[in-house]
Amino acid sequence: MQPLSGILAAVAASCLLLLLALPVGALIGGSGARGLSLLVTDHELRSALLLTIGTATSATFLAAVGGTPLAWLLARKSFRGRALLAALLDLPLVLPHPVAGIALLLVFGRNSAVGQVLLQMGLRIVGSPLGIVCAMLFVSAPLFVSAARESISQVPVRLEYAARTLGDSPWQTWWRVTLPLSARGLLAAGVITWARAVSEFGAIVVLAYNPKVASVLSYERFTSYGLPEALPVAAALALLSLVPLIALRALRSHNTPLT
């Protein structure tokens, strides 16, 4: 019975692995080279990829700036409403992404109060790079907070206590103890956030179809010109998505013992 269950488990695992790896492998193997060569000649693809990288990096930066204090708060402090705050932060993860886009449109659209105030300040969200950043931030920031919270939680609180008794202020304790010891985890949180932002489509397509990021361009070429035209763009995007994965593996391969 035991060998049979082992075989069944191996078959199930292999099937899943094939399902995950085959499409990406076929995409990169079949069109990766053409996708890379198009980077030289296809101005629209190059612009879309650069826009994707720029907006994803901005969204990641903003997620880190706002998300790190939230993660610290959730990891270190007990307060009324903590569970509610955690649930609110998880909400974007369970929303279908077009729904997230519609919700953002409702708040930042031209007819909304917030949208009009922002327009008066010269900030257009709908159909602008700022809108793309908003959509990416909305769907990926919860991932940053969750991973950063986990990373900060793993720093033994007594190390922070020890630093305080040795004369460090709360800020000094953060800079000298908590941040260095959770830096690798925070960096990994940033990589995951960036990867999620790069791959976003649903919320972006509702809030800012133009200017086109790579995922929207890939979709547009598929619907307008068919699979052959969409493949190189999709392959270039898949290659770009591999970068954070490799970075993540490198980060996880070397950790400082915390005790």
Partner 1 sequence: MIALNNVGVRAGAFTLANITFTIPSGAFGVVVGAAGSGKTTMLEVIAGVRTATIGTVVLHQHTVTQWPPEKRGVGLVYQRGALFPHRTVRDNISWSTKSESLHSSMVERLGIGALFGTPIAALSGGERQLVALARALVRVRSCLDRGEPAVLLLDEPFSALDPRRKLATRDTVRELHRDWKLTTLMVTHDSAEARRADIAVLLDAGRVVQSGPPLEMLQAPARDDVAYFLNGEG
Binding site for partner 1 (CB under 8 A): 156, 158-159, 161-170, 176-177, 180-181, 256-259
Which amino acid type is present at position 190? G
Tell me how far apart the alpha carbons of residues 159 and 129 are, in angstroms, rounded to a whole number.
42
Nearer to partner 1, 41 or 78 (CB): 78
- Cα radius of gyration (the chain): 22
Q: Which residues contact 160 (CB under 8 A, 6 or more apart)?
A: 173, 177, 178
Nearest-approach distance from CB 183 to partner 1, in angstroms: 9
Nearer to partner 1, 102 or 159 (CB): 159
Q: Are 236 and 49 in contact (CB under 8 A)?
A: yes
Nearer to partner 1, 81 or 171 (CB): 171
Nearer to partner 1, 121 or 171 (CB): 171
Nearest-approach distance from CB 75 to partner 1, in angstroms: 15
Nearest-approach distance from CB 153 to partner 1, in angstroms: 14
Nearer to partner 1, 177 or 203 (CB): 177
Q: What are 17's two structure tokens?
A: 């692995």
Nearest-approach distance from CB 259 to partner 1, in angstroms: 7
Nearest-approach distance from CB 80 to partner 1, in angstroms: 14
Nearer to partner 1, 181 or 234 (CB): 181
Nearest-approach distance from CB 182 to partner 1, in angstroms: 10
Nearer to partner 1, 47 or 153 (CB): 153
Tell me how far apart the alpha carbons of residues 196 and 119 are, in angstroms, rounded to a whole number.
28
Nearest-approach distance from CB 86 to partner 1, in angstroms: 18
